[in-house]
A and B are shown apart, each in its own frame.
Chain A
């Protein structure tokens, strides 16, 4: 082992302006985390959840009847798939797997201390990891829904093309993709914060699932603390409340998209601020975990 003369670290070409440094550090975190998130074996479940409906729709298209049910009916089916499967199940559980592992995974793999020993504010670490999780989840679920959308309308030929490009189709697609991104941000922030408090995410995950599923029967003020409250109002096609819960639903004054989007983002920001406070006091104690 050789011993070159040590140059003081402060003389190294480190970005010194705080904002510039923070951006560089967030980009470095993204480089590390995106590779991990997209290639990790345990995330195969997220891909299965996301692309399951794509396979089902593809099978229907390939093997189904030559007389599809009609654009209007398929638009409603797509709305059902998005709201009942993607929003309430796939994105929820996908974010649970992905975002709880962003922090808890580092503890389990005993690699968190490398981050803590770098000259990075822990708040920057949380923001970087959150963004990496949000980009990963949005990419996977956005791509999956895009495939569902494409397959659903492709077999209508010219009529499908006209619906998408000359009708409401393209607008609906963008709205769905926007809602997907917001859902990933909302659920992501919740699960990232939970992973900082609780070791096992199953129980709090179940509690959040119950809260999100039954938020509609809660008083209108409490409904505003639900991610789903904002998301369902942003969906381009509404679902009819035809299940057993409809009797108990508390009708809340709808929120316009101009309030729903900032409302959801404020909810995320509040949760992330809590996570930032929490991580500042976090100690490395792998044995206890």
Chain B
């Protein structure tokens, strides 16, 4: 596999902890943008992140991040920020000292480190508490401070292991907006989360994992269309849903068309979404039908649905 310099590449990577499988034969190429790692506990999400950042080494295969390998720490870690799942800090430090000391470790001058420290602290809204000892912080504050530490040196690749854990709803939504904005700036933002509907909103691509294997990867819509055994669900809000349903039943690819109780729409299940959209377009253009389309949207084109189809967990969280 070619490893372009702006991608995170896993080439046939396996990791075993003794006899326990971490991940097996992973081949991935992650472009910039927000990538969500989704899977149940023990599926290998954290192992994948640890491999990316050199905290663990592959049993076989090769990992490269922006063309650099984890055995080049002086280069690689200028570009990576990792907010790991460990809710731990060096003993006795304040929030400011925590971020500042590790910036100084990068070889930054005192002034630059100071400036970047306050910038990161302000970014996560922790200015008031920055001079207090981390030991006195709430879980959400500690999470935000760790996020600030991962962001402080302006990384190109931001790896976030369950970054929303412990955050209150306001902080969650602010964090999600931050990740989305960073992704749009061209950064790699790799996020693992149990809360699928939250990562769904911001993900440019997903990696679905189960028992150490990558089950599916790519843009969510692309992954969804690959799941052939589950017909695509499409929601249509329109003026004559019964007429649309009757036209749809003549098509082989349509499995079901369920009218909404308010009589202003229907839910279609089809094996061929492209053919459905073509037909819908024809009906809309056909003036004789007097058909008015208000809205059309995929109903199961999200991480949660794809996850349930491929891995089979119930509920909105994994």
Contact = CB atoms under 8 A, between A and B. Distances in A.
B91 A40 contact: yes
Given A9-B79, A9-B156, A10-B78, A285 B56 contact: yes
Contacts of B54: 116
A20 B178 CA distance: 35
A4 to B, nearest CB: 7
Interface in B45-82: 50, 53-57, 71, 73-80, 82
A15 B88 contact: no
B90 A109 contact: yes
Contact of A119 (B56, B74, B84, B112): B74
Contacts of B57: 281, 283
**B105, B125, B156, B174: which has the most chain A beta carbons within 10 Å?**
B105
B297 interface: no
Contacts of B178: 1, 3
Nearest to A115: B105
Given A8-B156, A36-B90, A40-B91, A120 B174 contact: no
B229 to A, nearest CB: 37
Interface in A48-98: none
A29 to B, nearest CB: 7
Contacts of A115: 105
Given A283-B56, A283-B57, A28 B125 contact: no
Nearest to B159: A117
A171 B14 CA distance: 61
Interface in B88-107: 88-92, 101-102, 104-107
B253 interface: no
A245 interface: no
B102 A114 contact: yes
B112 A12 contact: yes
B55 A283 contact: yes
B40 interface: no
Contacts of A39: 92
B91 A109 contact: yes
A117 B112 contact: no
Given A39-B92, A113-B84, A119-B73, A21 B56 contact: no
B175 interface: yes
B153 interface: yes
**A8, A12, A111, A283: which has the most chain B beta carbons within 10 Å?**
A12
A240 interface: no
A122 B71 CA distance: 10
A286 interface: yes
Contacts of A199: none
Contact of A14 (B80, B101, B107, B177): B107
Contacts of B73: 116, 118-122
Contacts of A233: none
Interface string B21-62: 000000000000000000000000000001001111100000
B90 A7 contact: no
Interface string A99-119: 000000000011101111111
Interface in B103-149: 104-109, 112, 116, 119, 122-125, 149
Nearest to A111: B90
A3 B182 contact: yes
**A6, A111, A288: which has the most chain B beta carbons within 10 Å?**
A6
Given A5-B185, A6-B154, A113-B55, A13 B112 contact: yes
Contacts of B155: 9
B208 interface: no
A2 interface: yes
19 contacts: A1-B125, A1-B177, A3-B185, A4-B119, A12-B112, A13-B109, A14-B78, A36-B92, A40-B91, A111-B88, A113-B82, A113-B86, A114-B102, A118-B106, A119-B73, A119-B106, A120-B74, A283-B55, A284-B55
Q: What 7 A-B pairs have minimum CB-CB distances, sorted nearest first? A: A110-B88, A119-B77, A3-B181, A284-B55, A28-B104, A1-B174, A15-B107
Given A14-B78, A286-B86, 12 more contacts: A3-B177, A7-B154, A14-B107, A25-B105, A31-B101, A31-B104, A111-B89, A115-B105, A116-B73, A117-B53, A117-B80, A120-B105
